């Protein structure tokens, strides 16, 4: 189920129009982490991106299966945002501090800030 949610999250971020390389994303149980902070808190979810390899690990707390599906999907989409180098913002939305489950214009602006849109304008009579 988490693998499907990962695919949904990547599709949602891709639909916002930015071009980005999708890192290798691993979903891991936080109780098995070598990071003591991950093991200490049962409810922690985190994304760790490894610059050198372009990989990202999403650490999932045990008991996630007992959470509402919509909340788990929002959390996975949020953590995938971190895998794409996005930070929290003050607005509503998945990367915001509100309780929103949908990607918002503020999320789109954060994605575009990190991954600028690539486009080429055609101007008649000007060499390309």
CATH code at 21? 3.40.390.10
The verdict on residue 125 lying in a domain is no
Nearest partner of 83 among 59, 104, 109, judged by Cα: 59
Number of domain units in the chain: 1
Q: Which tens digit of pLDDT belongs to each residue from 77-126?
A: 998 999 998 998 888 889 987 666 689 899 998 898 888 876 545 556 65
Whether 80 and 74 have beta carbons less than 8 Å apart is answered as: no
The verdict on residue 12 lying in a domain is yes
Is 0.85 surpassed by the pTM of this model?
no
Q: Give the number of other Cβ atoms within 10 Å of residue 98's Cβ.
A: 12
Beta-sheet pairing, 24-29 with 55-60: parallel
């Amino acid at each position: 189920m988490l693998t499907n949610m990962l695919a949904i999250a990547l599709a949602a971020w891709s639909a916002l129009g930015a071009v980005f390389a999708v890192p290798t994303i691993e979903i891991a149980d936080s109780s098995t982490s070598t990071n003591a902070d991950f093991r200490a808190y049962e409810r922690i979810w985190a994304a760790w991106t490894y610059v050198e390899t372009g990989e990202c690990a999403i650490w999932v707390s045990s008991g996630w299966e007992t959470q509402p599906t919509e909340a788990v999907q929002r959390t996975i989409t949020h953590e995938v945002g971190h895998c794409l180098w996005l930070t929290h913002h003050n607005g509503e939305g998945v990367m915001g501090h509100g309780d929103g489950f949908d990607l918002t214009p503020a999320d789109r602006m954060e994605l575009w800030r990190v991954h600028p849109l690539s486009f080429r304008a055609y101007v008649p009579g000007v060499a390309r």
